[in-house]
Amino acid sequence: MRGLDPIFQVLRTVPPLAWLPLSLAAFRQGQPAAIFVIFITAIWPIIINTAVGIRNIPQDFRNVAAVLRLNHLEFFYKIMVPSAAPYIFTGLRIGIGLSWLAIVAAEMLIGGVGIGFFIWDAWNSSRISEIILALVYVGITGFILDRIVATLATLVTRGTAAN
C-alpha cells in the first residue's frame, strides 16, 4: 500500500473531466464513458480511506486477536472490516459527493440527457432563472445523497462511526 500511495495520489489529482476524452476514445459511447469517469473520480477517496482505516486498527485489537489466535479470515471479518468500516464509509461519503460532481460535469460535455445538459441548454437559451433552479436542485440532491450514505454508515457500523 505504501508503495502504491504515490500512484494513487497522482491519479487522484487528475480532474474528472480530464478523463472524459480518453474515456470517450475507449468506449466510443457517451453513457459508458460517463460511467467510467464517475468511477475513476469516486474510487480514490474510497481506496485511500480504506487503507487508512486498516492501517489504524488499534494495536489493542490486534493483541486481542493474537491472544484469541484468530486466523486470517476471522481477523478479516471480526476485527478488520468492523474496525475499518467507519473509515470506509467516510471514503464512500466523499466518493458519492465527487461522483455527483462528475455526473453533472460529464453531462454538460456529453449532452443529450441529465441535469448537467439541462444547465448547459438553459445557458445556451439564456434562461438564467432555470440555471439557478437547477443549481439548487443539484445542491439539494448532493446533500440528500450524503445523508443517505451517512445514515447507512450509522446503521452498518452500529453507531461506532464518527459522524
Partner 1 sequence: MTDYLKIDHIDKTFVRAGATAEVLKDITLGIARGEYVSIIGHSGCGKSTLLNIVAGLLPATNGGVLLENREVNEPGPDRAVVFQNHSLLPWLTVYDNVRLAVDKVFSGSKSRAERDAWTLHNLDLVQMTHAKDKRPSEISGGMKQRVGIARALAMEPKVLLLDEPFGALDALTRAHLQDSVMALHQKLGNTVLMITHDVDEAVLLSDRIVMMTNGPSARIGEVLDIALPRPRRRLEMAANPVYLKCRQRVLEFLYERHRFVEAA
User: Does the footprint of partner 1 cover residue 72 (CB under 8 A)?
Assistant: no
Taking the C-alpha atoms of residue 81 and residue 117, their distance in angstroms, rounded to an integer, is 40
Give the residue, chosen from 38, 79, 104, 138, that forms a contact with partner 1 under the rule CB under 8 A: 79
Which residue, 31 or 160, has its beta carbon nearer to partner 1?
160
User: Does the footprint of partner 1 cover residue 66 (CB under 8 A)?
Assistant: yes
User: Does the footprint of partner 1 cover residue 155 (CB under 8 A)?
Assistant: no
Taking the C-alpha atoms of residue 106 and residue 122, their distance in angstroms, rounded to an integer, is 16
Taking the C-alpha atoms of residue 41 and residue 153, their distance in angstroms, rounded to an integer, is 21
Q: State which amino acid sits at residue 10.
A: V
C-alpha cell at 7: 500512484
User: Does the footprint of partner 1 cover residue 82 (CB under 8 A)?
Assistant: yes
Q: How many residues bind partner 1 (CB under 8 A)?
A: 20
Q: Among 71, 99, 87, 96, which Cα is nearest to 156's?
A: 87
Which residue, 78 or 127, has its beta carbon nearer to partner 1?
78
User: Does the footprint of partner 1 cover residue 152 (CB under 8 A)?
Assistant: no
Which residue, 2 or 28, has its beta carbon nearer to partner 1?
2
3-state DSSP assignment of residue 125: coil
Please report how close the Cβ of residue 87 comes to partner 1 at its closest, in angstroms. 13
Please report how close the Cβ of residue 47 comes to partner 1 at its closest, in angstroms. 22
> CA-based Rg of the chain, rounded to a whole angstrom?
20
Please report how close the Cβ of residue 147 comes to partner 1 at its closest, in angstroms. 22
C-alpha cell at 118: 439541462
